[in-house]
Amino acid sequence: MTRNDGLELSPKKSEYLKYIFEKGGIVRTMDISDNFHLDPSTITKAIQEMSSTGLIDYVPYRGISLTSKGTEHAEFLVRRHRVIELMLSHYGLSGHEACGEALKFEGYISRDVVNKICSSLGHPRVGICGKIMHNKSCCYLGEN
């Protein structure tokens, strides 16, 4: 897998990756299925598919952890969410609304577009549901 446009994972799998990142350490399939109210078999299938992307390490019966590439991708996913919700909040949505609306479509927004929006907002550091971190894959060129 060589694509790096931010759309490597489907919107649903992106949410699973973000969850694994935010929970930290080794995450069990059950943790994910409980969190998303989905059948464990659905998650197991998704995780098996995701393990071919090099973003996660999956040891059956033990759990799932992120690779360094997976951590980087999850950081992008978090930035994507926060940049988009911040943009929406500038157009009259409350923070709560912006957060919920962003979740409905952020999974379709490419890295390039996120970087352009991030840039046009002046590389904000404070988001609505948390800090916005800028890394080397971001358009931000100054000190971090």
Residues contacting residue 2 through CB under 8 Å, at least 6 positions apart: none
How many CA atoms does the CB half-sphere of 132 hold within 13 Å?
Answer: 25
- Cβ proximity to Zn ion: between 23 and 123 the closer is 123
We find the least distance from the C-beta atom of residue 82 to Zn ion, in angstroms, to be 6
Q: Three-state SS string across 16-77, please?
A: HHHHHHHHCCCECHHHHHHHHCCCHHHHHHHHHHHHHHCCEEEECCCEEEECHHHHHHHHHH
We find the least distance from the C-beta atom of residue 41 to Zn ion, in angstroms, to be 29
- Cβ proximity to Zn ion: between 38 and 129 the closer is 129
We find the least distance from the C-beta atom of residue 118 to Zn ion, in angstroms, to be 3
Residue 91 DSSP symbol: T
Distance CA 15, CA 124 (A): 22
- Cβ proximity to Zn ion: between 50 and 118 the closer is 118
Q: Which residues bind Zn ion (CB under 5 A)?
A: 85, 99, 118, 123, 129, 134, 138-140
- Cβ proximity to Zn ion: between 57 and 72 the closer is 72
